[in-house]
């Protein structure tokens, strides 16, 4: 696959819209392109999927390992891949560039295009861009100026190319119609935006009009990755909750399940009951936003509760965990765990974590370490034993989470199976062995 990364000095620089516009512009040229996102994000990836018409992937060294990001590329569906970088190009774990977009582009040997949005500056743009381009190992090979007039673009282009020695590939003018609404955990989901197609289409028109797509194509480099071999097929049916309330999944996790098990998707919001299954996977999302609708679907709540009481296997992450408690701010949920979830006005947990299992459970044996990620503003108080000891990869902060009830396991962390394949197989082994009894 030929690949290119779109990056920026910081968040809020316009990477997402320019990436969406570029992907759609390439698609309109009949180029077989798919999207990827660095980092643990599961919201921006859905926008990349809308632009390309293909399921997007994540590239994250902490969650997946270097071999894992290569496997994600091997899973990709396209001859070309556009990677949207997370945060600033060099922003990694803690105060390092480890696992940053820079780190990933260097390890994959992928060229990057820098999106730069000037803010109350002129020539000061040049040394800032030069510092990022000249940093040892930097893969930045081109610049796109964002939210500038054509006149300003012409002025800056001359000086950037003269003093930095890098091509300025074009510009995008400021356009308020390209704004995408945000929510407390990031952008509004694509499923909730009626005008998302209009936004992507307009972004692509901007790109086609004032960005040199042919030069961008020349910067794309082949990334050689080994073919991904899926684990053995199992006669297990997995029900995956997927709708506006539950959509935070890593695509690679879903592809692993789809190629090793029988997967059925359902909506806790709209469907009347849980489909027949051996394992229920409740991913993250916005159950707090749709808590009243979820609460009104009494037959679904009852069927999941019954499934749990009958020994059915359930694995829940973050929003899925919240759905399994007694209530979210007074709105009745599945009542499998005796506790309540409430929202706060700030992030409670954010970023990469490592989980140590304090006892044997469906994800592994006591002492196993799982790489994971947490991102939530809610607090959930459960009357029960915690079985995850959680630590940050760098630093001394630690806390506990993770709860069991019969064959139900849930907590706030999101895991990616690529760096936790032992946990993936251990989970399916548990379900399979239970079916044989």
How many alpha carbons lie under 13 Å from residue 317 in its C-beta half-sphere?
A: 21
Instruction: Tell me, rounded to whole angstroms, the distance of Cα 81 from its chain centroid.
Output: 16
Using an 8 Å Cβ cutoff, are 295 and 332 in contact? yes
The Cβ of residue 126 has, within 10 Å, a number of other Cβ atoms equal to 17
Positions marked catalytic? 318
d(Cα 111, Cα 98) in Å, to the nearest integer? 18
What element of type H or E holds 350? strand 349-357
The two beta strands, 313-317 and 408-411, are parallel
Distance between alpha carbon 270 and the CA centroid of its chain, in Å? 25
Q: Which residues of 81-103 are buried (b: 16+ CB within 10 A; e: fewer)?
A: bbbbbbbbbbbbbeeebebbbbb
d(CA 101, CA 99): 7
> Would residue 165 be called left, alpha or beta, if left means φ above 0 and alpha means ψ between -120 and 50 degrees?
left
């Amino acid at each position: 696959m030929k690949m290119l990364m779109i990056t920026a000095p910081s968040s809020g620089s316009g990477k997402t819209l320019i990436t969406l516009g570029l992907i759609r512009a390439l698609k309109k040229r009949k180029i077989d392109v798919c999207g990827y996102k660095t980092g643990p994000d599961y919201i921006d990836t859905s926008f990349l999927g809308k632009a390309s018409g293909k399921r997007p992937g994540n590239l994250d060294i902490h969650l997946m390992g270097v071999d894992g990001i290569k496997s994600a590329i091997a899973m990709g569906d396209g001859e070309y891949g556009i990677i949207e970088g997370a945060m600033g190009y060099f922003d990694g774990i803690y105060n390092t560039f480890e696992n940053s977009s820079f780190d990933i582009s260097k390890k994959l040997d992928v060229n990057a295009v820098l999106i730069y949005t000037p803010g109350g500056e002129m020539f000061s743009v040049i040394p800032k861009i030069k510092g990022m381009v000249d940093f040892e190992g930097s893969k930045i090979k081109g610049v796109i100026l964002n939210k500038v007039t054509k006149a300003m673009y012409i002025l800056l282009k001359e000086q950037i190319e003269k003093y930095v020695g890098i091509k300025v590939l074009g510009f995008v003018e400021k356009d308020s119609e390209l704004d995408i609404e945000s929510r407390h955990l990031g952008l509004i989901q694509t499923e909730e935006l009626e005008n998302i197609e209009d936004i992507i289409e307009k972004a692509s028109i901007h790109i086609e009009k004032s960005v040199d797509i042919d030069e961008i194509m020349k910067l794309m480099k082949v990334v050689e990755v080994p073919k991904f071999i899926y684990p053995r097929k199992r006669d297990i049916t997995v029900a995956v909750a997927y709708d506006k309330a539950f959509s935070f999944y890593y695509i690679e996790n879903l592809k692993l399940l789809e190629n090793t098990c029988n997967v059925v998707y359902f909506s806790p919001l709209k469907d009347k009951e849980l489909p027949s299954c051996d394992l229920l996977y409740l991913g993250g999302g916005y159950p707090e936003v749709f808590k009243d609708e979820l609460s009104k679907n009494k037959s679904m709540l009852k069927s999941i509760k019954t499934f749990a009481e009958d020994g059915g296997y359930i694995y829940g992450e973050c929003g899925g965990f919240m759905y399994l408690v007694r209530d979210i701010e007074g709105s009745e949920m599945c009542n499998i765990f005796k506790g309540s979830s409430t929202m706060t006005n700030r992030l409670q947990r954010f970023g990469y974590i490592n989980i140590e299992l304090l006892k044997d459970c469906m994800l592994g044996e006591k002492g196993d370490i799982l790489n994971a990620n947490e991102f939530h503003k809610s607090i959930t108080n459960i009357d029960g034993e915690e079985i995850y000891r959680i630590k940050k990869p760098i630093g001394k902060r630690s806390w506990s989470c993770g709860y069991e009830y019969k064959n139900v396991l849930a907590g706030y962390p999101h895991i990616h199976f690529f760096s936790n394949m032992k946990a993936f197989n251990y989970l399916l082994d548990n379900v399979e062995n239970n079916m044989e009894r």
